Amino acid sequence: MTQAATGRPVQLAAAAAATAPMVAVFLWMYGGAGSAPDLSTFFMGPLLIGGGMIFWLLFLHLVWCRDDLPSLGFRRPGLVADLVVGVLMGIALLGLKVLSDPWLAGLFPPRPPAPEMLRLIHGIALDPLLLLLWLGPVLWIGVAGFEELWRAVVLRRLACAFPGRVGAIAAVLATSVLMALAHAYQGPAAILSIGFKSLLMGGYFVATGRARTLIVAHAVYDAVQIVAAVLMIRQSA
């Protein structure tokens, strides 16, 4: 992995610049958690925000910090391996969810979703075009791509600012806490679940430097849950 050409203040400023928009977006989402979005917001929000953030993160990484894409694991060699490992990691995370959800539900009984949100999800599940759009660009760009690129860029910036084992552990802990709190609108069970999975995924990136695997794993993890929900909705329709 190459070394970025800039010093600690620039690296920390880039990490802060990468995180500030995400915090603002998720605070806005948390503030509006009680109301369901309309259909256009449900689709265009993740695409526009996630797509815009991807460009911003790449600008910080490539231009501001004068780093390169191979330092994030985006290399042509190893693509197939990243896909395979990503799928397996996504399945493993699903298994972890199956094991931990009953325990978390006992600690924090889940709140029923708003009726407006249920109707929105029901409509998407029964519309093949909307479902394809959600499982395609919305999931891969607006959710998995954006969140995992954020994790990788911030971890890379902190690793350059604070090299060494202690710095790496602190960086994984910090990014995992931020990722968990960013999903606070989903409730305390989600904070614990996502925080623990983030520790695993952050540790994987620190050990391997391969963000591509994490994007695939995240997309598989979400896609399987979406498809399972769709099948349940269609069976009950």
pLDDT score recorded for residue 200: 97
Among 57-66, 102-111, 135-144, the minimum mean pLDDT is found in 102-111
Count the neighbouring beta carbons within 10 Å of the beta carbon of residue 142. 23
What pLDDT does 167 receive? 93
Task: State residue 74's pLDDT score.
Answer: 92
Angle between helices 79-107 and 211-236 (to 10 degrees): 60
Residue 63 pLDDT grade (very low, low, confident, very high; cuts 50, 70, 90)? very high
**Among the listed residues 142, 144, 132, the one whose alpha carbon sits nearest the alpha carbon of residue 217:** 144
Q: Which of 6, 12, 2 is nearest to 162 (CA)?
A: 12
Cβ atoms 128, 211 nearer than 8 A: no
pLDDT averaged over every residue in the chain: 89
Does pLDDT of 108 surpass 80? Answer: yes
pLDDT reported for residue 32: 55
Q: Which of 18-27, 105-114, 177-186, 213-222 has the highest mean pLDDT?
A: 213-222
Amino acid identity at 46: P
- DSSP assignment of 25-75 equals HHHHHHHTTTS---HHHHHHHHHHHHHHHHHHHHIIIIIIS---GGGGT--
Residue 33: which of 190, 140, 168, 159 has the closest Cα?
190
Compute the 3-state secondary structure of the chain and give helix, strand, coil in percent, each to the nearest 5.
85, 0, 15
Q: What's the rounded mean pLDDT across residues 94-114?
A: 89
Residue 197 phi/psi, 5-degree rounding, is: -65, -35
